[in-house]
């Protein structure tokens, strides 16, 4: 179906285009950067198992709900809630989603900028003869240098803004069709290479051995938060992407493929990261601590110390950059779609304005990892991630479920889902989850996180 040039809105050209774009949104730094860190902090296989459960019971339920709302209304989050329940105040949940995407983009693109910075450092051979201590010092100098950090951040935002300005089929879809297959090929190659490294078994053990002492509700909360973060839920991305889907497409299989591919990539990310870390000379378990700069401090050691390290490191940072861009594109698309739908802005104008705004809002995050003493002490970056990357995603997801069950209705939602899937075999389970399990789990865990954060 051709794009509607008059509105700048557009539609997906095919089902595979949507799956690749949605998977690209989901498979980002949340899977490649954030997930391995959380595994290291939260008990290894205990967290992996909790994450898989969260994706299946909570993530899939939420994604299908958001896609159904988006396709039914053919609008952005604000317009979608208003279209179903006019003048009811539910549009403000959509506004919250728009704000959340901008906030997450503002710090997420900072880390994407680090990937760009380390890619050019790899190309120019700046990691020769590096040690664990000098690698950590190099990362600290990099993030503490405001000009270098902001330049890399600006490059990422510039590329993202350009892609979004091109539209759905000419920009997002074409970008996803090229880069997502590259991402999957790189993931498989790097995972196989990591497993053949000497001493890789120590990393696999660290990754997959459960630390039973860490089993508690906190692990489950962060697993659900990670599922929302990785699957791009609770902030309007899937409502927006769903609005570009034609009515005859199968939402169930599309959501299933996105959830499966995201979980697979997150799992493979751990297979790449941990065997590589523990196979690297100079890195002992005593030195290892999952942290914000985990990959950026360790991959340079791979480049310097292991056979074929340059190729491994080069491909890894290419992978990281591709994954980051597929997500920054989806984050920027939500507020852009809002301005196009609700305020009749042209796509290029909306993309340029919001890309610039996101860059300005991201400057404190870019400076809070070492460049600004006050922001670093305050923990600005981590607080942004906790508030927007965990709490507000869960709040947004809970709001969507409440809206669907009590203000739109299970029956019309199922009619929308069945439009492309007449035999929805998981219907009883989905109805139970959307009515009871998913909202109850999110509500309990939101109460819990409020308690532990004061």
pTM (2 decimals)? 0.89
- Residue in 17, 24, 1 with CA at minimum distance from that of residue 237: 24
How many CA atoms are closer than 13 Å to the CA of 426, on its beta-carbon side? 15
Mean pLDDT, residues 142-167 taken together: 94
The per-residue pLDDT for range 160-173, each reduced to its tens digit, is 999 999 887 777 77
Cα 314 to the center of its chain, rounded Å: 22
DSSP string, 300-330: HHHHHHSTTHHHHHHHHHHHHHHHHHHHHHH
Res 8 pLDDT > 70: no
Task: Identify whether 9 is part of a domain.
Answer: no
pLDDT score for 353: 98
pLDDT score for 103: 96
Provide the token pair at 233: 């839920």
pLDDT score for 369: 86
Task: Identify whether 4 is part of a domain.
Answer: no
Provide the token pair at 56: 């299946």
Task: Identify whether 3 is part of a domain.
Answer: no
Q: How far apart, in whole angstroms, are the C-alpha atoms of residue 398 and residue 391? A: 11
Mean pLDDT, residues 187-201 taken together: 86
Q: How far apart, in whole angstroms, are the C-alpha atoms of residue 48 and residue 64? A: 23
- Residue in 378, 361, 360 with CA at minimum distance from that of residue 369: 378
Domain that holds residue 428: 15-452
State the pLDDT confidence band at 71, using cuts at 50, 70 and 90.
very high
Residue 393: which CATH number? 1.10.4160
- Helix axis angle for 251-278 and 45-53, nearest 10°, is 170
- Helix axis angle for 309-343 and 91-123, nearest 10°, is 150
Q: 445 or 7: which carries more pLDDT confidence?
A: 445
The per-residue pLDDT for range 20-68, each reduced to its tens digit, is 888 888 787 778 777 887 887 787 888 999 999 999 999 999 999 999 9
State the pLDDT confidence band at 292, using cuts at 50, 70 and 90.
low
- Residue in 112, 128, 154 with CA at minimum distance from that of residue 359: 154
Res 189 pLDDT > 60: yes
Task: Identify whether 208 is part of a domain.
Answer: yes
Task: Identify whether 7 is part of a domain.
Answer: no
Task: Identify whether 1 is part of a domain.
Answer: no
pLDDT score for 283: 62
Mean pLDDT, residues 251-280 taken together: 88
Beta-ladder partners of 44: 210
The number of folded domains in the chain is 1
Task: Identify whether 328 is part of a domain.
Answer: yes
Task: Identify whether 364 is part of a domain.
Answer: yes
């Amino acid at each position: 179906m051709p794009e509607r040039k008059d509105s700048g809105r557009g539609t997906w050209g095919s089902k595979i285009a949507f799956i690749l774009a949605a998977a690209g949104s989901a498979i980002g730094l949340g899977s490649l950067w954030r997930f391995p860190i959380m595994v290291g902090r939260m008990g290894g296989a205990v967290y992996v198992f909790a994450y898989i459960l969260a994706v299946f019971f909570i993530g899939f339920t939420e994604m299908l709900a958001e896609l159904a709302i988006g396709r039914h209304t053919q609008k952005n989050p604000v317009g979608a809630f208003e279209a179903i329940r006019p003048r009811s105040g539910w549009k403000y949940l959509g506004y919250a989603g728009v704000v959340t995407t901008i906030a997450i983009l503002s710090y997420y693109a900072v880390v994407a900028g680090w990937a760009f910075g380390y890619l050019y450092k790899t190309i120019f051979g700046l990691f020769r003869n590096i040690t664990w201590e000098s690698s950590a010092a190099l990362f600290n100098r990099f993030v503490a240098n405001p000009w270098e950090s902001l330049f890399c951040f600006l490059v990422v935002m510039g590329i993202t803004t350009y892609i979004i300005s091109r539209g759905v089929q000419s920009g997002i879809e074409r970008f996803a069709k090229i880069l997502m297959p590259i991402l999957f090929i790189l993931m498989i190659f790097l995972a196989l290479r990591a497993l053949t490294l000497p001493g890789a078994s120590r990393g696999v053990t660290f990754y997959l051995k459960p630390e039973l002492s860490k089993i508690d509700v906190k692990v489950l909360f962060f697993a659900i938060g990670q599922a929302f973060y990785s699957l791009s839920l609770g902030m309007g991305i899937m409502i927006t992407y769903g609005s570009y889907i034609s009515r005859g497409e199968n939402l169930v299989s599309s959501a299933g493929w996105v959830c499966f591919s995201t979980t697979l990539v997150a799992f493979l990310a751990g297979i790449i990261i941990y065997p590589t870390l523990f196979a690297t000379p100079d890195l002992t378990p005593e030195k290892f601590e999952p942290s914000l700069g985990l990959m950026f401090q360790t991959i340079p050691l791979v480049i310097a110390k292991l056979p074929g390290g340059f190729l491994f490191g080069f491909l890894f940072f290419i992978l990281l950059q591709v994954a980051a861009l597929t997500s920054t594109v989806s984050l920027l698309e939500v507020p852009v779609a809002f301005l196009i739908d609700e305020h009749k802005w042209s796509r290029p104008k909306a993309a340029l304005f919001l890309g610039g705004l996101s860059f300005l809002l991201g400057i404190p995050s870019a400076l809070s990892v070492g460049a600004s003493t006050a922001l670093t002490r305050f923990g600005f970056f981590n607080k942004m991630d906790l508030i927007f990357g965990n709490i507000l995603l869960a709040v947004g997801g809970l709001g969507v479920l409440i809206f669907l069950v009590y203000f739109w209705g299970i029956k019309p939602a199922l009619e929308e889902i069945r439009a492309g899937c007449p035999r929805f075999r998981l219907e009883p389970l989905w109805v139970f989850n959307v009515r009871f399990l998913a909202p109850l789990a999110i509500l309990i865990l939101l109460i819990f996180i409020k308690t532990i954060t004061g």
